[in-house]
Amino acid sequence: MPEIGPAEPWIVREIGAPAEQDGALLQGESVFALANGHVGLRGNLEEPHPGGMPGTFLNSLYEERDLQYPEEGYGFPEQTQTIVNGPNGKRIALYVDGESFDLRTGEVRRHERVLDLRAGTLTREVEWVSPGGAEVWLRTERLVSFVRPSVAALRYSVRADAELRIESDLVVDEELPSPREDDPRASAILQDPFEPISHDDDQLVCRTRRSDISVAAAVTHTGADGTVSSTPELIRWVTTGRGEITFEKFLAYHWPATDDAVTDRDAAARDGFDVLAREQRDYLDDFWAGADVEVDGDPDIQQAVRFGLFHVLQAGAQAGPHPIPAKGLTGNGYDGHTLWDTESYVLRTLTYTHPGCVGPALKWRHNTLDHARERARELKLDGAAFPWRTISGPECSGYWPAGTAALHVNADIADAVLRYHAATGDDEFMREAGDELLSETAKLWKSVAYFDDEGVAHIAGVTGPDEYTALMDDNIYTNLMAEQNLRAAGVDLRLNIPYAENRQVHEQAAGFTRLPEWDFTDDDYPLMLSHHYLNLYRKQVVKQADVVLAMMVRGDAFTTEQKRRNFAYYEARTVRDSSLSAPIQAVLAAELGHLTLAHDYLAEAALLDLRSGGESGGDGLHIAACAGAWISLVMGFGGLRDHGGALSFRPRLPPGLTRLSFHVHWRGSKLCVTITRDTVSYTADGEVTFRHEGDEVRVRAGEELKFAVDPIDDIPAPPSPRPPRRHSLSA
C-alpha cells in the first residue's frame, strides 16, 4: 500500500505502488492532479491498469442532465450540469517482450511519484520485473502549462533488455467506473457523453450530446519514430524498439473546437518539453515570491500550506472566462459545480497571494448576470439571484432548502468584489463589472427585506452557511453580509441582528437558542447520512461555522467579549460535517487565545487531503480547505483582517510554531510579515499603510518596521462534541 512520505518543504512524495482496493489509488489521483484552471489532468497512472477514476477535465466542459423530483414544484430547476471526462491523452500502454506492464503482475521493486511544487511537474519512477523476468526502469514527467492555457505535455522514458512496444493514445469516451451508491452526495458518472464530429491523425473533434459543446483535442509525439492510426474515438501512436525508448507527448485542447488546438500543439512540440518546464518554473518562481508562507516548527503544516496554495493556483490561474469549481479540476466532485466557497475562501486567498486570478473569476460571475436576473424574476425578486451550484450560470441544485434559500451567495460575491477592489484599486474592473455586481446583488436584498410593526428590518426564511439549520429568519451571517452589500450600493438599511439576552450570545438565526438541544452521545458523522433533515433542522446542531464565520468576516460588528461567548456557545454545537468549518474555527480560536485549538483546526484543514484516507471518495481535492490552510495561518496567527477595506494585523503564534512569515499583495505592493515569539517585522517593495494592533503604521520600500509581540496565554479549548484531532508535531 502506498503512502504519502514524510513532510518535505517543497514536494509531495508517494512511496509504493497504489492498489485499486485500498482507496489510495483514488486519493493519489486527486493529490497528484495537475491543472492550470483551464485544463486539468487527474493524477492517473499512464498505463490503463490499475485504474481509478479517469479524469481529463476542461473547465466548463459539461453535459446536461434532467433533474427528477418525486413531486414537481414551481421554480424547481429542470436540468443540472455535470462535468465530463474529456479526451484523455495520458494513457500509454507498455509491452515488454509481449507482456503488459501492469503493477498488479510481476514484481514492483520501486514505485515513487513526486509532485514538485516549485517546478509544477509530476514525476514518476518505477522499477519493475515482468512475469517473464525482464527488468524494467520507467520514468515519466508530466506538466499542465501555466503559461500556455491549452497545453499539457508528458515525457516518457523506459529502459529494459527486452523488446518494447508502446501504444500512446488520445481516447474519447473511455469507460468509467460505476457511480458510488453508499453516499448520496456522490457525483453523477456520465458514460459516453460525446458524439464524434471528425478525426484524423492530428486531432479528434467531438461534441457533447445535449449541451452541444464541441471539443478539439490535438496530439503529437517527438523523440522516437512511430506510426499513427485514428478512429472517431481514438488516435494511437505506436513505437517499438529494444533496450531504451524516450519520447515526448504534447496535447492541446480547445472548446468550442477550433484549429487553434493543432496550432498550440505544434508550437509546444517545436519548443519541446524542456522549454515548457522552464516556463513553468519561471511562472512558479514569480508566484512563490509573492505568495509563499514559511512555517518554522511544524514540517507537516509547512508542506501542507504550500500544497494548498499550489492547488489553489492550479484551480484559478487560467480559469479566465470560466468559473473556479469547488474541486478545481482535480475530480468530478459536486459534479464540477462552483459554489459560494469560491468567493468566500478561494478568492479570499488569491486576492492576497495572486490577485491577477481574481478579476477574471469575478468577471465570470458578471458574465452570468443574465442567468441570475432571470432566476430572480422566477423567484419574484428584484435584481439578481446567483445560483447555489452551477457551471455555466443557471441554478443546478435540486435541493432548494440548502440551495435556492441560501441567498447569502449574493452577499458573498459582493464581499469578494469589495475585497478585490480594496486590495488592488482596480477601478477599471469596477466600471466593467464590479459596480453592476454590487448594484444587482443589493437589489435582491431590498426586495426580500421587510419591516415589522416596530419598524425593525428583517430577512425571513433563508438558509445561512450552516446547512443543518434551514429556512430561518434573520440568519446573522446573511443579515450582516447583506447590510455590507447594501451599504456598498449606497443603501443604508439596518437589519435585525438576533441576540439571546438570557444566554448572552448572538443567535445564529432568530429563535435558534430556543430550539431543542441535540443529543451528541451516540452519533456517526456526517450526520446527514444517518439522520433526516427534519431532525437536523429543528435542533441546535451546526454543520459548519456560521456565527463564527460572521465574526471573522464582519468582526467589526462584535465586541471581543461577545466573540468569546459566541465562540464557546457554538463550539459546543458544531460538528464540522463540512470541510469549510475548520479554517474559520481556527481563525477565531487564534484571535481569542485558544492557540493550541487553533493549531489543531489548522492541521485538520491543511492535512485533509494529504492524510491517508482523508480525501473522501477520490472525487477531487477540497479546494476551499486548501485555501483554508492559508486562511488559518495568515488570518489566524497572522491576525490579518480587512474590515471596511482597511488592512490590519494582530499577530500571535501557538506553542508549536517558532516563526511564521507570509506575503500580502496590497495596492500594487508586496508586504512581507514575519512573526517570531518576540517580534513582528514588516517590509515591503512599495509603500503600504495598515494597522498593527489597532495603530495605523506605514512601511516604505526598503524600510523595516519591527514591533514587540506581547505574549498571550494559551487558553484551554471550550467544550466541543467533536473536538479536532490533536495535532502532534513531526520530529
**Digit-coded pLDDT (tens) for 652-683:** 999 999 999 999 999 999 999 999 999 999 99
* The predicted structure's pLDDT at residue 523: 76
* The predicted structure's pLDDT at residue 49: 86
Q: Is residue 445 part of a domain?
A: no
* The predicted structure's pLDDT at residue 23: 76
Q: Do 313 and 256 have their domain in common?
A: no
> Residue 300 belongs to what H/E stretch?
helix 299-316
Q: Do 224 and 308 have their domain in common?
A: no
Alpha carbons 466 and 476: distance in angstroms, whole number = 11
Domain boundary among 251, 281, 311: 281
Q: What is the mean pLDDT of residues 463-483?
A: 98
Cis bond upstream, residue 526 (ω within 30)? yes
Q: Do 138 and 230 have their domain in common?
A: yes
Grid cell 433563508 is found at 462
Band of residue 651 on the pLDDT scale cut at 50, 70, 90 = very high
Q: Is residue 347 part of a domain?
A: no
In the predicted model, is pLDDT for residue 102 greater than 50? Answer: yes
Q: What is the mean pLDDT of residues 321-326?
A: 96
Specify the CATH number for the domain of residue 248.
Answer: 2.70.98.40
Q: Is residue 470 part of a domain?
A: no
Band of residue 730 on the pLDDT scale cut at 50, 70, 90 = low
Among 362-366, 426-430, 610-614, name the one with the lowest average pLDDT: 610-614
What average pLDDT does the structure give for the chain? 95
pLDDT, one tens digit per residue, over 685-699 is 999 999 999 999 999
Cell numbers given for 675: 512573526
Number of domains into which the chain is organized: 2
Residues with Cβ < 8 Å from 449, sequence gap 6 or more?
A: 457, 458, 459, 482, 493, 495
Band of residue 63 on the pLDDT scale cut at 50, 70, 90 = very high
* The predicted structure's pLDDT at residue 521: 86
Q: Do 66 and 205 have their domain in common?
A: yes
Q: What is the mean pLDDT of residues 141-153?
A: 98
Number of H helices, E strands in the chain: 18, 30
Band of residue 612 on the pLDDT scale cut at 50, 70, 90 = low
Q: Is residue 427 part of a domain?
A: no
Q: Do 172 and 59 have their domain in common?
A: yes
Q: Do 117 and 222 have their domain in common?
A: yes
Domain boundary among 252, 281, 310: 281
Q: Do 189 and 297 have their domain in common?
A: no
Q: Do 220 and 241 have their domain in common?
A: yes
Band of residue 33 on the pLDDT scale cut at 50, 70, 90 = very high
Q: Do 608 and 642 have their domain in common?
A: yes
Give me the domain span that covers residue 37: 3-281
pLDDT, one tens digit per residue, over 557-575 is 999 999 999 999 999 999 9
Grid cell 515519466 is found at 140
Q: Helix or strand or coil: residue 84? A: coil
Q: Is residue 105 part of a domain?
A: yes
In the predicted model, is pLDDT for residue 616 greater than 80? Answer: no
Band of residue 163 on the pLDDT scale cut at 50, 70, 90 = very high
Q: Do 97 and 217 have their domain in common?
A: yes
Question: How large a percentage of the chain has pLDDT more than 70?
Answer: 97
pLDDT, one tens digit per residue, over 361-389 is 999 999 999 999 999 999 999 999 999 99
Alpha carbons 399 and 466: distance in angstroms, whole number = 15
Cell numbers given for 53: 477514476
Q: What is the mean pLDDT of residues 503-532?
A: 94
Q: Do 120 and 193 have their domain in common?
A: yes
Specify the CATH number for the domain of residue 695.
Answer: 2.60.420.10
* The predicted structure's pLDDT at residue 613: 55
Residues identified as active-site? 467
* The predicted structure's pLDDT at residue 189: 80
Band of residue 52 on the pLDDT scale cut at 50, 70, 90 = confident
Q: Do 206 and 316 have their domain in common?
A: no
* The predicted structure's pLDDT at residue 615: 47
Question: How large a percentage of the chain has pLDDT more than 90?
Answer: 91
